[in-house]
């Protein structure tokens, strides 16, 4: 019996032949069960985000071209010298074994400067997410402490309903402040003041309620702020590779239960998308460099001790994103 597809709040549903009840289609099933869907996958006819997602290459399809990424790391020339050299590698990742995790791109931060930078970078992130999704990459949105806003969203239910992974790491539900490899280096910035560099300093708090609206969440995506749920999702989907970006590099992107440290130490091939991130760093704190240099120093630390990095250029074919206020480059690159 050929499955019947129906739209309900832009979700995909499949009628089970046994009991005729409706159940959400798994990402690995949508469009692949229909010859018509397979034809659409190669046609390029659709342009709406939902339609583009539907037309993405099917799992195992010959049309699922590998992702060609240029990774960057810093490798110590000789142990103990502190002399690190940049090394770049070309890697090929199967998109069906790859996920992106969008970390804490909140609608509003307690720091006004952080909120304005999120607003500036979010459109480029959205473009990158669409490009990844169109290639068959699984998208996970992780706006921490905002799950109430998505309690009825199919993506939230997908995360909650993912089966418990047999290989669930024992500390995957916890914040990770450091991994053993970082013992070899010195943390490059002082963020003890919270990182706000506004004048006057902003008042702290938790004003975030959801992910910033400039980033589109589709029903085939997943939504979670739980390390356990996200690990379950990765295992359910057969994900080996993760591209992580969002804010803030020196805090949540590194330390969250679904952040770079946890993914790296637990065996995933993790990369930071280094131009799609920002730090909480006050230029009046050590080492007394401008805000964007502070981000660069954190990226260097990650490349030395945590995992490789890439840029959004790998998927978009455009120069890496730069903030308009970054004094180190003559012009900013946006979309």
Q: Are residues 28 and 142 both part of a single domain? A: no
3-state SS assignment for residue 184: helix
Return the number of other C-beta atoms located less than 10 Å from residue 186's C-beta: 7
pLDDT for 60 equals: 38
- Do 48 and 83 belong to one domain? no
Closest CA relative to residue 305, chosen from 187, 188, 182, 189: 182
Task: Examine residue 23 and state whether it is found in any structural domain, yes or no.
Answer: yes
Query: Max CA-CA distance within the chain?
Result: 67
Phi, psi of 242 (to 5 degrees): -135, 130
Tokens read off for 103:
């970390």
Are residues 22 and 96 located together in one domain of the fold?
no
Buried b (16+ CB within 10 A) or exposed e, 227-238: bbbbbbbbbbbe
Do 39 and 76 share a structural domain? no
User: How far is residue 246 from each of residues 69, 74, 83, 125, 222, measured CA to CA in Å?
Assistant: 19, 22, 29, 8, 16
| Position 183 in a domain | yes
C-alpha distance from residue 74 to each of 176, 265, 303 (Å): 22, 18, 5
Strands laid side by side in the 5-8 sheet = 5-8, 11-15, 22-24
32 and 145 share a domain? no
Which residues constitute the domain of residue 301?
67-316
pLDDT score at 14: 30
> Residue 92: phi, psi to the nearest 5?
-115, 120
Domain assignment present for residue 271? The answer is yes
Q: 176 vs 32, 262, 309, CA distance in Å?
A: 38, 7, 19
Full 3-state SS string of 229-295: HHHHHHHHCCCCEEEEEEECHHHHHHHCCCCHHHHHHCCCEEEEEEEEEECCCCCCCCCCCCHHHHH
Specify the 3-state DSSP secondary structure of 70. strand
Q: For residue 17, what pLDDT is reported?
A: 33
Is 328 inside any structural domain? no
Whether residue 181 is found in the same domain as residue 230: yes
Q: What's the number of domains the chain is made of?
A: 2
Is 164 a domain residue?
yes
In a domain, 329, yes or no: no
**For residues 136 and 65, what is the distance between their CA atoms, to the nearest angstrom?**
9
Same domain (yes/no): 114, 42:
no
Q: Are residues 33 and 74 in the same domain?
A: no
Q: What is the CATH number of the domain that holds 290?
A: 3.40.50.850
- Residue that the structure tokens 């239960």 belong to: 257
132 and 179, same domain (yes or no): yes
Residues 181 and 102 in one domain: yes
Q: Which residue numbers in the chain have pLDDT < 70? A: 1-63, 329-335
End-to-end CA distance of the chain: 45
Residue 60 included in any domain: no
Q: Are residues 101 and 18 in the same domain?
A: no
Q: What are the structure tokens assigned to 186, written together?
A: 């010195």
Question: 61 lies in a domain?
Answer: no
DSSP 14: E
> What φ, ψ does residue 223 adopt, rounded to 5°?
-130, 125
For residues 77 and 100, membership in a common domain is answered with yes
pLDDT in the model for residue 184? 84
């Amino acid at each position: 019996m050929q499955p019947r597809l129906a739209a309900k709040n832009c979700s995909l549903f499949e009628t089970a032949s046994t009991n005729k009840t409706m159940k959400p289609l798994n990402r690995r099933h949508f469009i692949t069960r229909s010859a018509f869907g397979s034809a659409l996958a190669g046609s390029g006819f659709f342009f709406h985000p939902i339609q583009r997602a539907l037309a993405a290459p099917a799992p195992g399809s010959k049309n699922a071209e590998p992702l060609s990424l240029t990774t960057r790391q810093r490798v110590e020339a000789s142990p103990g010298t502190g002399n690190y050299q940049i090394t770049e590698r070309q890697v090929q990742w199967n998109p069906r074994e790859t996920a992106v995790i969008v970390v804490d791109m909140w609608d509003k931060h307690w720091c006004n400067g952080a909120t304005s930078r999120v607003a500036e970078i979010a459109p480029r992130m959205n473009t990158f997410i669409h490009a990844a999704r169109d290639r068959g990459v699984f998208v996970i949105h992780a706006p921490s402490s905002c799950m109430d806003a998505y309690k009825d969203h199919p993506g939230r239910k997908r995360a909650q309903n993912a089966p418990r992974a047999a290989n669930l790491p024992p500390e995957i539900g916890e914040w990770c402040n450091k991994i053993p490899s970082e013992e070899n280096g010195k943390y490059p910035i002082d963020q003890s003041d919270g990182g706000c560099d506004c004048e006057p300093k902003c008042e702290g708090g938790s004003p975030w309620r959801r992910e910033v609206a400039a980033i589109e969440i589709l029903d085939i995506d997943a939504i979670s702020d739980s390390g356990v749920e996200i690990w379950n999702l990765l295992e359910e989907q057969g994900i080996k590779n993760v591209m992580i970006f969002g804010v803030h590099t020196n805090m949540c992107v590194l330390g969250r239960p679904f952040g770079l440290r946890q993914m790296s130490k637990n065996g995933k091939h993790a990369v930071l998308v280094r131009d799609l991130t920002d730090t909480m760093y006050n230029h009046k704190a050590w080492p007394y460099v401008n805000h964007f240099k502070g981000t660069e120093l954190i990226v260097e630390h990650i490349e030395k001790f945590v995992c490789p990095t890439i840029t959004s250029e790998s998927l978009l074919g455009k120069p890496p994103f730069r903030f308009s206020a970054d004094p180190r480059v003559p012009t900013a690159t946006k979309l």
